[in-house]
């Protein structure tokens, strides 16, 4: 969850919410399957961006 991410990282709650909104927008507007965010490569990319 976004709040679990905030606890494990140095991101502020506001930044985590911003990331959550951006990922949600990506999935919805680009018609991506929800499973996209569960893929190891997607998670690796997010970790690298942090």
pLDDT tens string 19-46: 899 999 999 999 999 999 999 999 999 8
For 25-28, the CB contacts below 8 A with 24+ separation are none
Instruction: Determine the Cα–Cα distance for residues 43 and 28; give it in Å rounded to an integer.
Output: 18
pLDDT of residue 2: 57
Domain locations in the chain as residue ranges: 2-49
* Helices and strands, number each (H, E), in the chain: 3, 0
Output the pLDDT for position 30: 96
**Whether residue 7 has pLDDT greater than 90:** no
Question: CB-based contacts of 42: which residues, under 8 Å, 6+ apart?
Answer: 36
C-alpha 5/C-alpha 46 separation (Å) is 11
């Amino acid at each position: 969850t976004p709040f679990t991410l905030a606890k494990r990282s140095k991101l502020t709650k506001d930044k985590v919410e911003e990331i959550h909104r951006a990922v949600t927008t990506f999935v919805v507007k680009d018609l991506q399957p929800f499973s996209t965010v569960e893929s190891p490569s997607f998670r690796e990319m997010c970790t690298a961006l942090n």
